Structure 1
Amino acid sequence: MAEIPSLPQRAFVVSAQRRDELASAFQSDAESYDKIRPSYPGAALDFALQHHPATAVDIGCGSGIFTEQLVARGVETTAVDPSRDMLSVLAKRLPDVATHCASGEDTGLAENHFDLVTYAQAWHWVDHPKASAEAARLLHGHGWLTLLWNQLDVSIPWVHRLARIMHAGDVHRPELEPPLGPEFGKPEHGIWHWSMPLDFQEIIELTKSRSYYRKATGTTRAKVEANLEWYWTEHLGYQRSEKVQVPYLTHAWRSRRRTRR
């Protein structure tokens, strides 16, 4: 993979204050988030379910995009998120799934109860030592913790520039392992490349689903949208209504819970 010089070397490390500030952007407007954010490739789901879990808890579930995929595979899934608005959207699509409005650091769920804990697009929103300890508490035996991210494939130069204009904050260097607590072993890694057809308005909607845009001033939002319009229609030369295959990739890591002492 080509070198990507502007991606941070410590992408998962964010101060607690900054993390809370950005995460608060997802307390509302869950419907628009749900409409534009993609689901995860089947191969990534296979990776998460390789050990055939019967029960899972999807933490930071948001509007239930990954939760729905787990349920479709027959996994009895509990959904956890700190945003009641996100959970309300999830409840509409998955009325039979149990939901808990809580953080990943303190879910309030039963100890030693699940085969699998998942974080899809959410591990960068938690305190890693505390969330690791909580995931280990929830798992029984040698259960697994799986972390996934969909991100723009910024190894491709034009996509890299697009991500920077969008201020896509969940883009990480492929070689960076997410930090885990001592309860878990060294994670195994998977990566899958795919693409998503998007027109210009969908690019704008995807941008609006980002924490940077949601927390920005009206002036900053207008500047971001103007820059995107110039880049998409003038620099890249696409029509506003033209569907373009935008390259994505999915990163996933899975780690087994160490033996309890």
Structure 2
Amino acid sequence: MSVHHAAGLGYQRAAGAYERSRPSYPLAALADLADALPLQAGRTVVDLGAGTGKFTRLLALTGAEVLAVEPVTAMRERLAELLPQVAVSAGTAEDSGLPDRCADAVVAAQAWHWFDPDAALAEVERLLRPGGALVLVWNTYDTSVPWVRDYQDIYFRLAPRDLPSPPLPARPGGGSPADESHGPQGAADRWRKVFAGRPGWGAISERHWPNPHSTTVADVVERMMSSSHIAVLDPQAQARVRGEVAAVLGAHDATRGSGAIEMPYTTDVYWVRYGG
């Protein structure tokens, strides 16, 4: 399987900015997963689309053996540099290159929307031991905050129509609505449909955690510039995007200036068991 052009080239160019500007995930989410699956010494977890290892490094804390899979060279090299104890290979979610029945759990953090869902799920079924689980994780923006909504609008307005997007599920008490208008693809929970009627899979479990990210205005700009479809633009177009993001941030009291700010994320975690 090939990698989407925006991901293959954009993340190759922006691996450093990706690592610097993007948030980690709540330790509470990791602890709940470790208990539920479980993840511990003697178990093996495959991390598909591992990127620079934002979630990989948390998985390693559980004591489980972690096998990271990342097709983009610059991201994979950054992961290997940061996590020398983790085995990392150059496969894809659809063709990982790992042996059959090698995993007690398969994780995709901030990545599943990039995959061909049917082919990736078939690969997960091949990798999982009976009773294992697939875990999907996303950090999503809290667009009930006005400046975050305006910021995200830039991302989606510039996105090509074929660009996959993370899900934006409805949440009690606010957050991103499941509204197709929010993105070219994946704004609603379309990823769920791949499980419908597919034998062997159980019910989807889910939990959501607030994940406020302490950052700076400069890093919020870099967060936008690390987006795959922005990173592939020519320098002049990137300069225009920087200017547009700076204008949005300068228009809101919470983000005006150059000091520390808080980027409000929610971490969405879903897991599904597979009977084999």
Shift of 1:170: 4.1
Which residue does the alignment assign to 2:83?
A: 94
| Matches for 1:132-151 after TM superposition, within 5 Å | 132-151=121-140
Deviations 1:207-261 (A, max 9, x none): 111012112233332222112211212343644321111211111110001x33x
- Shifted more, 189-198 versus 137-146: the winner is 189-198
Q: Give the SS at the match of 1:38.
A: coil
Answering whether residue 159 of structure 2 is matched by residue 173 of structure 1, we say no
Aligned length: 243
Q: What residue number does 1:21 align with?
A: 5
In 1, the alpha carbon distance for the partners of 2:97 and 2:77 equals: 19
- Please tell me the residue identity of whatever aligns with 1:98: A
For residues 202 and 32 of structure 2, the distance between their equivalents in structure 1, rounded to whole angstroms, comes to 17
1:186 to 200, 203, 216: 203
Partner SS, residue 52 of structure 1? coil
1:227 and 2:227 correspond: no
Runs (4+) off by over 6 Å: none
Q: CA deviation at 1:83?
A: 1.1
What is the rounded CA distance, in whole Å, between the counterparts of 1:28 and 1:237 in structure 2?
30
- Structure 2 contact 107–136 (Cα < 8 Å) conserved: yes
User: Corresponding residue for 1:253?
Assistant: 270
TM-score by length of 1: 0.85
Would you say the 8 A contact 1:201–1:240 is kept in 2?
Answer: no
Runs of at least 5 residues in structure 1 that lack an aligned partner in the other structure: 1-15
For 2:106 and 2:125, locate their aligned partners in 1 and report how far apart those are by CA, in whole Å: 9
How far residue 160 of structure 1 moved from its aligned partner, in angstroms, is 1.2
User: 71-80 vs 182-191, which deviates more?
Assistant: 182-191
Code of the residue aligned with 1:200 in structure 2: it is: V
What is the 5 A alignment of 1:147-162?
147-162=136-151
Structure 2, unaligned stretches of length 5 or more? 171-187
C-alpha spacing 1:238/1:64, structure 2 compared with 1 (3 Å): closer
Hey, what's the Cα distance between the residues in 1 that align with 2:21 and 2:32?
A: 24
Structure 2 partner of 1:33: 18
**Cα distance between partner residues in 2 of 1:236 and 1:226:** 18
| % identity of equivalent residues | 32
